[in-house]
Amino acid sequence: MKRILIFLTLLASSALIAQGEYCWPGFRGAPQLHGASNANLPARPQLLWTFQAEDGIKASPVACQGILVVGSTDGCLYAIDSNGKERWTLQTENAIEAPALVFEETVFVGNMDGTLFALNLFTGRELWRYQTDNQIMGAPNWWKKGEESRVVVGSYDYALHCVDAKTGGLKWKYESDNYVNGAAAITGDDAVFGGCDGFLHIVDIQSGKLKKKVDVATYIAGSAALEGGQAYVGDYDGRLSCIRLEEGTLAWRFEDPQYHLPFIASPAVYGDKAVIGSRDKNIYCIDTQTGKLLWRHRSGGRVDASAVIAGGKVITANMRGDVQLLRLKDGAVLWSYETGVPISATPACVDGRFFIAAEDGAIYCFGQVK
Q: Taking the mean position of all CA atoms in its chain, how far away is CA 14? A: 17
Q: Are 32 and 227 in contact (CB under 8 A)?
A: yes
How long is the chain?
370
- Cα dihedral 196/165/185/360 (nearest 10): -70
Class (C level, CATH) for 2-39+54-307? mainly beta
**Planar angle of CA 343, 346, 350, nearest 5 degrees:** 125
Those residues of the chain that have pLDDT short of 50 are: 1-17
What does the alpha-carbon distance between residue 342 and residue 181 come to, in Å, rounded to a whole number? 20
What does the alpha-carbon distance between residue 55 and residue 218 come to, in Å, rounded to a whole number? 33
Question: DSSP string spanning 37-96?
Answer: E-PPPPSS-EEEEEEE-SS---SPPEEETTEEEEE-TTSEEEEEETTS-EEEEEE-SS--
- 306 Cβ contact partners less than 8 Å away, ≥ 6 residues apart: 28, 35, 60, 222, 265, 266, 267, 268, 276, 277, 346
Query: How many CA atoms lie within 13 Å of 67's alpha carbon, on the beta-carbon side?
Result: 23
Mind spelling out the 3-state secondary structure of 232-249? EEECCCCEEEEEECCCCE
Q: What confidence tens digit (pLDDT) does each residue in 268-306 have?
A: 999 999 999 999 999 999 999 999 999 999 999 999 999
What does the alpha-carbon distance between residue 196 and residue 217 come to, in Å, rounded to a whole number? 9
Domain residue limits, the chain: 2-39+54-307
Strands (E), 236-352: 239-244, 249-255, 268-270, 273-277, 282-287, 293-298, 308-310, 313-317, 322-327, 333-338, 348-350
- 338 Cβ contact partners less than 8 Å away, ≥ 6 residues apart: 321, 322, 323
CA distances from residue 11 to 99, 298, 328, 346 in whole angstroms, order as listed: 28, 27, 15, 24
Buried b (16+ CB within 10 A) or exposed e, 297-323: bebebbbbbbbbbbbebbbbbbbbbbb
Q: Taking the mean position of all CA atoms in its chain, how far away is CA 30? A: 9
**Planar angle of CA 356, 82, 32, nearest 5 degrees:** 55
Q: Are 283 and 275 in contact (CB under 8 A)?
A: yes
